[in-house]
Chains A and B, each alone.
Chain A
Amino acid sequence: MRVFTAALAIAAGIIVLLGYFYPDQLEAFRLLLVDWAIIIAGMAVLVGIFNLAAVQMEKFRARQKGGMYGILLVLSLLGTFAYGLFFGPEDRYLRLTVDAIIVPVEASLMAILAVTLIYASIRLLRRRVDVMSVLFLSVAVIFLIAIMPTPFGGITALQDFILEIAGMFSRGGARGLLIGIALGTLLTGLRVLFGVDRPYGGN
């Protein structure tokens, strides 16, 4: 069974890859496989939601700690899903739910993140005093100063200079990251095509 799954995955990958080079022969098969992948991905979202609900129900059934939150989550999920399925996302109450619950909650988490980052910056030199930590903090402060609006109007020349110099390093770093991501993506694809990695459970 392991060999069959590996062979199937490898074959699909090779067909899609070769479909780019041979569109006349393999494009239809490629598009078919792509469609199947989209469908499977869409169903995976539903499976994930169902798994989430099952875990929370089990927690509630086993009377574990936080079981009440689990049942609340499941009820909320079912209610929202059903309401949105029937009334659509444009419904006012559904938007009220989004505006009053989802967005504020997630926004608050982001605010906590901001405070945590400031606190970490403050205590960085207490835990670790070295060149990199000092440099990190210095650059962070400089960029904050560069983009900080002032009542005196922005320091345009300074800001431009900072953004130009700092931007040069940032852009270089960003390119490096993107190249690394691209290479990693390419290597991962090749490993899957060669059967070395089997993320589908063949190992």
Chain B
Amino acid sequence: MAELRCPKCGKSNPEVLDICQFCQTPLKPDPVLRIGQTPTKKNTGELESVLPDWLKDVRQQARDSAEEDAAQAAAQPKVEKNEPPDLLAGLVSQSSDAGEEEIPDWLASINPTASPKPAASSMPAPPSGSDFFAQFNQSEDKPASKPAQEDVPASVDNESDQSSGSSENDELSKWFSQASEQSEEVVEIDPEAQRQGDAAWVSNFDSPLPSQQPEAPKEEEDLSWLHNLEAASKQTGDLQAPKRGTDWMASFETPSTPSEPSRSQEDLSWLDNLGGIDESPQQAPAQPSTPGEDLSWLNNLGAPSEPQPSDASPDKPVPSRSFASEEDLSWLDNLGRTSEPSQPIETASESSSSSQEDLSWLNDLGGEPGPQLTPPFAEPESTESDMPPRQTAPLGKKEETEPDWLKSAMEVPSMPPPGDVSMDWFTNQDQAFDHAPSAGTSQDRPVEEKADPASRTPQPSPFSDVFSTPSEPSSLSSQDVDSLFSVEMPDWLSRSEPAADQPASGQTTLPPAESDESLAPVDLPSWVQAMRPMEAVISETASGAEDEPEETEGPLAGLRGVIPGMTIGSSMRPKSISLKLQATDEQQASAALLEKILGGETSPRALITSSFVASQQVLRWTLTALFLAVLGVVISLRSQMMPVSPSLPAEGDAASQAVVSLPANAKVLVVIDYEPSLAGEMEAIGGPLLDQMILTSHPNLSFVSTSPNGAVLVERMLSNTGITQAGVEYRNLGFLPGGSAGVLGFVERPAEIIPASEVGKFSDYAMLVVMTDHAESGRIWVEQLHAQRVKQVDLALGNQPLIVIASAQAGPLLQPYVSSGQITGMISGLSQAARYEYINGSRPGIARSYWDAFGVGLAMAIVLIIVGSLWSLFTGIRARRAEAEQG
């Protein structure tokens, strides 16, 4: 079992315990943080075990990817800079990268005068490429110790990354011019810088020849290609024609001097690899190369004997003849594949039609506006007289060995881009084929001509002259470069993007689909359609674009539908939105209703009473008044016109017989169980019987009551009936509680329950008279008494008569007991009482006084009930008939 160590005493405790068994210190820290306590820092790593599995996996993957990234970053040599930390290093690096793309260091280093300019125009570039050319300018004697192939890919890589720049083109032209003039210049190479540059170049270049080391002592062979370049340039005179080379290009011309072999060789080892290329350098400027050929110019680079034309056009790929061994140019293929078909830097001034043709395919791919004057990979016919256009890429001779993939990519689309609806494309296309050699005439066009979509000119690569042969047409070399770095674009991409990239081309007409029957509209995939810019969609669906006015000035001159034609004050101006709440009539009505309901909640509502309630009150008052009046008169008159029947019912007669048979001075228990409300009736009913009993037996009366009012009612009754006046002894035993239990107890043990009864047992009473106005009380006495009789505990109870004096409402319910013999006799109601009183000699006479009023009242009640019922029946039928007619 794991143990926990006490933080206080340090003793071991079992894990199951929470408190130390020695010092009573909590073993586990209280996780709850209370007021006043300082929070303890927790290691969140401890919580990793409680993380869910899926989260752990994600975290592990993140760690692995981070490690991989770190390893990759570590594998790449970093360019050490002794600069202080700069927060804008990212921007700096970006701009520096751009600068590097535009003017590689190795190229800038060729010409000492030109190297600062690239550094100034662009951000400080890594000294990878500039040092190479710098060495040619500085010292020709220093052999290139660095591997040539490492520099070349770097330069190529940088070249591929170059963006359009007019300054670089100028420098290139200058370089070539300088190269032709300064053939004796020595390229001084800074070994240290070169070494660093090569190291960076090596790290950036992912070539199939990674094992090349800068220690290759191929000094003489490294610079041979430069000689070739110079010779080629001199022969073709390319150095003279394109004048818009950048400065760095000017510096680039320097290495083409015959003094190249004297240059530093240690950094040019990479050139040896260039010499190993099988293909001969392409005669791109001179010969119209096929678009698919890409590596033939490299063969020329490997030939050391050929003099470098000093006037080689920067656009022309100067063949390098230092490469004796014809090695596989697959690295260039890879280079061409990996790198984007970036536009080589060319000055707009030097752009020719061929240059435009070379990069036109790139324009098409990148959505460059403007129909191409020439097909992207059209082979311009360069003439001797004309300055060959600058080549975008000095790589390859495309006429002969162009691979198929490059051919397909460089094929001129039969149809213009979908966005290009202008018919100028077709005309320009024809012109392109016809006037491709004369692209040199357009070399001087300024860059601003790019606004003209028909005359859009691609910018040739600044490095095209380095790697192109003098005989190669410059346009073709640029095409080669483009083709090398081009990626086989799918048809859908080449077709769809121009539609979005040429909004300014004035797309007012639909694509001339009818002109090309082979091109059928292709259903773009859904995800491509989603990628399509809205401008393309609008342009396709805007059939009314023709109605749009054409811009006449500004950069959008000649374009239609670019800016929505919405004149000032037009009706299409968006309507002013009212700040007020816009509610419909229905909503307003609902709101008013709701407000009314809410207001009614607080206000009291008057209770509406119908006339029905008023009519009821009138009828009641009428009845009351009628009865009071009639009966009052009858009572006040003390009339006795209603005769009384002398016959008694059977139960009455039995009661009378029982009373008469009482022995003298017998004890009689009289139970008073009626309420004061019926005291008048009960006194009228019981008076005659009690009077007869007193007159005949002179009994000892004991009065008991099961209600609290009984005791008082006894006195009232004795007073009203005149019993007290007769001098009869009586006992008022008071209240007998407990209901049936009390009755049972009194019946079983009267002396114990009520000591004032003065009887030993209940059978000592000769008669039991129960005066009740409700059947419950009579029933209880009957049942309890009968139970004692059944038990035969006291046989005398069997002979004890039970007389019940009941009101008219209780008599019917006690009649069964009379019928069963459990009750000896019963007098119920005023009618029987009147008869009994009549037999008794009209004593006390209460019943007789009530008899006439009783009769009149009953008669009135009967009449009112009959008449009223009939009237109610009639009115009810009439009302229901009226409701039926209405409904």
Contact = CB atoms under 8 A, between A and B. Distances in A.
B708 interface: yes
A158 interface: no
A149 B854 contact: yes
A149 B644 CA distance: 8
Interface stretch (B145-153, B440-448, B616-624): B616-624
B738 A122 contact: no
A137 interface: yes
Contacts of B678: 110
Nearest to B749: A31
B858 A38 contact: no
A45 B647 CA distance: 44
Nearest to B746: A38
Interface stretch (A56-64, A172-180, A191-199): A172-180
B716 A98 contact: yes
Contacts of A110: 677-678
A170 B623 contact: no
B868 A41 contact: no
Contact of B868 (A123, A144, A151, A167): A123
A188 interface: no
B677 A126 contact: no
B738 A41 contact: yes
A125 B872 contact: yes
DSSP majority for the B interface?
helix
- Determine the interface band of chain B, counting residues with CB < 8 A from chain A: 35 or more
A23 to B, nearest CB: 8
Given A94-B712, A98-B716, A41 B742 contact: yes
A187 interface: no
Interface residues of A, number: 58
Interface in B597-653: 616, 619-620, 623-624, 627, 641-645, 647
Given A107-B676, A107-B679, A115-B623, A171 B745 contact: no
Interface in B849-867: 851-852, 854-855, 858-859, 861-862, 864-866
A183 interface: no
B866 A141 contact: yes
B680 interface: yes
A41 B862 contact: no
A144 B861 contact: yes
B872 A122 contact: yes
Contacts of A23: 791
Interface string A149-161: 1111110100000
A148 B862 contact: yes
A41 to B, nearest CB: 4
A156 B645 contact: yes
A17 to B, nearest CB: 13
Interface string B733-776: 00101110110110011001100000000000000000000000
A109 interface: yes
B77 interface: no
B558 interface: no
Contact of A103 (B716, B815, B854): B716
B677 A107 contact: yes
A99 B680 CA distance: 11
B645 A103 contact: no
Given A95-B719, A144-B858, A171-B812, A115 B620 contact: yes
Contacts, number: 171
Contacts of A126: 872-873, 875-876
B716 A107 contact: no
A153 B537 CA distance: 118
Nearest to B707: A45
Interface in A124-163: 124-127, 129, 137, 140-141, 144-145, 147-154, 156
A109 B677 contact: yes
B311 to A, nearest CB: 121
A38 B865 contact: no
DSSP majority for the A interface?
helix
B849 to A, nearest CB: 13
Nearest to B854: A149
Contacts of A127: 876
The winner among B676, B714, B872, B876 for most chain A CB atoms within 10 A is B676
B728 interface: no
Interface string B697-721: 0000000000011011111100100
Contacts of B872: 122-126
A200 to B, nearest CB: 15
Interface string A90-112: 10001100110011001101100
Interface in B363-404: none
Interface string A24-38: 000000010011011
A66 interface: no
B411 interface: no
A23 B862 CA distance: 56
A72 interface: no
A145 B855 CA distance: 10
Interface in B30-75: none
Contacts of A114: 627
Nearest to A172: B816
A34 to B, nearest CB: 5
Nearest to B752: A35
A112 to B, nearest CB: 8
Contacts of A174: 812-816
B815 A170 contact: yes
B95 to A, nearest CB: 90
State the 8 A-B residue pairs at the shortest beta-carbon distance, nearest first: A122-B868, A126-B872, A106-B677, A149-B855, A42-B737, A38-B738, A149-B642, A41-B738
Interface of B: 616, 619-620, 623-624, 627, 641-645, 647, 675-680, 708-709, 711-716, 719, 732, 735, 737-739, 741-742, 744-745, 748-749, 752-753, 779, 791, 812-816, 819, 829, 831, 834, 851-852, 854-855, 858-859, 861-862, 864-866, 868-873, 875-877
5 contacts: A23-B791, A149-B642, A150-B642, A151-B642, A156-B647
Interface of A: 20, 23, 31, 34-35, 37-38, 41-42, 45, 89-90, 94-95, 98-99, 102-103, 106-107, 109-110, 114-116, 118-119, 121-127, 129, 137, 140-141, 144-145, 147-154, 156, 167, 170-171, 173-175, 177-178, 181
Given A149-B644, A153-B643, 6 more contacts: A115-B627, A121-B865, A150-B859, A151-B855, A170-B812, A175-B816
